[in-house]
Amino acid sequence: MDKVFELIKRETKRQNETLQMIPSENYASADVRKAMGSIFENKYAEGYPGKRYYQGNIVVDELERLCQERVKKLFGVPHVNVQPLSGAPANLAIIKGLQESEKNIQLSQILSMGGHLSMGQSVSVTNIVMPAVHYGLTADGEINWRELEELAIKHKPKIIWAGGTAYTRIFQWKKYAEIADKVGAYFVADISHIGGLVAGGAHPSPVPYAHIVMTTTHKTLRGPRGAIIMVTKRGLQKNSDLDKLIDSAVFPGVQGGPHMETIAGVAVCLAEANTQKFKKYSAQIVKNAKILANELRIMNYELIGDGTENHMVWIDLTNKGVDGWAAAWALEYAGIIANRQTVPNERKSPYYPSGLRLGTPAITTRGMKEPQMRQIAKWIDEVISYTASEINNIDLSQEQRKTFKQVMIKDKKLLLIAQEVKDLCKKFPINV
């Protein structure tokens, strides 16, 4: 057997026996994976349905149109591009499509306060294509509307972005739209994290307010790794060529041939998301996250946004005596897969940040509910409190970090929790 298949077996075991609590991860269904592994993989299809640069695309055209129709129906948009390979290239294409002059700038949430690299952060190519200025969050974890509006008035950006990688409140789409209208900007909502919540009705939709909406398809939407760019009615009212601008920015602007096997998987996940079952699922994601947040708050965890209104819990660990790095590793050794995250006004670095991000989409897919959330919160606290009692240092040296990993991977207490986690996981198989 090729080594790869042995690795697939090991990864299957790992995913089965641990709790996936990275907010941007989920389990795609067996049907999605079947479509992803299909012979659509073999086909080159540069161009769009009815206008390809290769022969043999009769079936592919039908597939891409089917996928487009499903997006339009699910999100209520007049135009969609289903070809972006993932979120970052999708955002790059949006920026490229909207750029009219080298003087254009974009306005987005700052990376250290939950923004995303692909919205013009200084280390991203999206900043070279269109320089950016950034707004942050207030002390209570809300978008800093005053700062956003002041920056918008001062810089007259071409794009105002909503969304990113960490935010725990309901997005106030109307407020973004009002500011964007005031300065003539395009309002682009990146709903990658909450795409499934919007589809399932567990978060308000930005479609009535934004000109463009982008979502990745593998997070709460539970599809393959990909992305879609939607142009809304409002977008076409602002610029009747917006659909064409986006399409030509995706291809040939940023990408070559689309991954038709991914588009097949996206089409399957969209049908799955357009069901009552998915509505219930997305509501449960939020319910679970609220319970998890509440339990942690009771145990004196500092939560950005003082809780959550979506699928994510964002913790500042400074008062706990560990940083996000140590907490994330200790949790992994105990079978809980989280990810470390910067916090507003971060004083450390993105690699060794002060915070942690947890999410409920994947464990909700497994069927876990309120009682399991309470148990998981208890384990998380046990791991973090124990780790703090072992090190009580939020600024470990490189040498101390090396020793920490060598010691903690064999730690009896963490191994015991890992066994308890495994027992729970057995009762909630990844049944998709």
Q: Choosing from 165, 216, 232, 342, which is the catalytic residue?
A: 216
What is the DSSP secondary structure assignment for residue 304, as one 8-state letter? G
Name the helix (H) or strand (E) containing 302: strand 302-303
The closest residue (CB) to ligand DSN is 24
Name the helix (H) or strand (E) containing 355: strand 355-359
Residue 46 a catalytic site member? yes
Site for ligand DSN in 134-193 (CB under 6 A): 165
Least CB distance from residue 23 to ligand DSN, whole Å?
7
Least CB distance from residue 193 to ligand DSN, whole Å?
6
Closer residue to ligand DSN, CB minimum distance, 70 or 116: 116
Query: Is-contact 35 265, C-beta < 8 A?
Result: yes
Residue 44 a catalytic site member? yes
Site for ligand DSN in 282-311 (CB under 6 A): none
Closer residue to ligand DSN, CB minimum distance, 47 or 141: 141
Binding residues for ligand DSN, how many (CB under 6 A)? 4
Alpha helices in 249-369 (DSSP H): 260-273, 276-298, 324-333, 361-365
Residues written for the chain? 432
Site for ligand DSN in 100-119 (CB under 6 A): 116
Least CB distance from residue 87 to ligand DSN, whole Å?
5
Q: Two tokens at 198? A: 């919007």
Least CB distance from residue 174 to ligand DSN, whole Å?
24
Any idea which residue has 């057995």 for tokens? Answer: 426
Before 252, cis peptide (omega within 30)?
yes
Closer residue to ligand DSN, CB minimum distance, 165 or 288: 165
Closer residue to ligand DSN, CB minimum distance, 24 or 205: 24
Alpha helices in 111-200 (DSSP H): 125-129, 145-155, 173-183, 195-199
Least CB distance from residue 24 to ligand DSN, whole Å?
3
Q: Two tokens at 422? A: 């495994």
* Alpha carbons 340 and 352: distance in angstroms, whole number: 8
Please report whether residue 365 would count as binding ligand DSN according to CB under 6 A.
no
Q: Choosing from 64, 190, 247, 295, which is the catalytic residue?
A: 190
Least CB distance from residue 124 to ligand DSN, whole Å?
11
Closer residue to ligand DSN, CB minimum distance, 47 or 344: 344
Residues 6+ apart with CB under 8 A from 252: 46
Least CB distance from residue 203 to ligand DSN, whole Å?
16
Please report whether residue 220 would count as binding ligand DSN according to CB under 6 A.
no
Please report whether residue 121 would count as binding ligand DSN according to CB under 6 A.
no
Interhelix angle 370-391/398-408, nearest 10 degrees:
130
Q: Choosing from 17, 25, 31, 46, which is the catalytic residue?
A: 46
Please report whether residue 344 would count as binding ligand DSN according to CB under 6 A.
no
Please report whether residue 226 would count as binding ligand DSN according to CB under 6 A.
no
Task: Bin 376: left if φ > 0, else alpha if -120 < ψ < 50, else beta.
Answer: alpha
Closer residue to ligand DSN, CB minimum distance, 227 or 424: 227
Please report whether residue 24 would count as binding ligand DSN according to CB under 6 A.
yes
Residue type, 200: G
* Alpha carbons 96 and 90: distance in angstroms, whole number: 10
Give the CB-side neighbour count of residue 19, counting CA atoms within 13 A: 32
Residue 216 a catalytic site member? yes
Please report whether residue 47 would count as binding ligand DSN according to CB under 6 A.
no
Least CB distance from residue 333 to ligand DSN, whole Å?
21
Closer residue to ligand DSN, CB minimum distance, 68 or 339: 339
Q: Choosing from 31, 33, 44, 318, which is the catalytic residue?
A: 44
Q: Choosing from 33, 225, 279, 378, which is the catalytic residue?
A: 225
Q: Which of 47, 84, 87, 115 lies at the binding interface for ligand DSN (CB under 6 A)?
A: 87
Q: Two tokens at 56? A: 């043999």
Q: For residue 415, with 0-12 CB atoms within 10 Å meaning exposed, 13-18 middle and 19 or more buried, which class applies?
A: middle
In three-state secondary structure terms, 133 is strand
Q: Choosing from 219, 222, 234, 290, which is the catalytic residue?
A: 219
Query: Is-contact 33 225, C-beta < 8 A?
Result: no
Any idea which residue has 């739209």 for tokens? Answer: 177
Which x/- pattern, by CB under 6 A, does the window 1-20 give for ligand DSN?
A: --------------------
Closer residue to ligand DSN, CB minimum distance, 117 or 322: 117
User: Which residue, 224, 328, 334, 305, is CA-closest to 270?
Assistant: 224
What is the DSSP secondary structure assignment for residue 251, as one 8-state letter? I
Residue 281 a catalytic site member? no
Least CB distance from residue 59 to ligand DSN, whole Å?
32
> Which residues form the interface with ligand DSN (CB under 6 A)?
24, 87, 116, 165
Q: Which residues are catalytic?
A: 44, 46, 190, 216, 219, 225
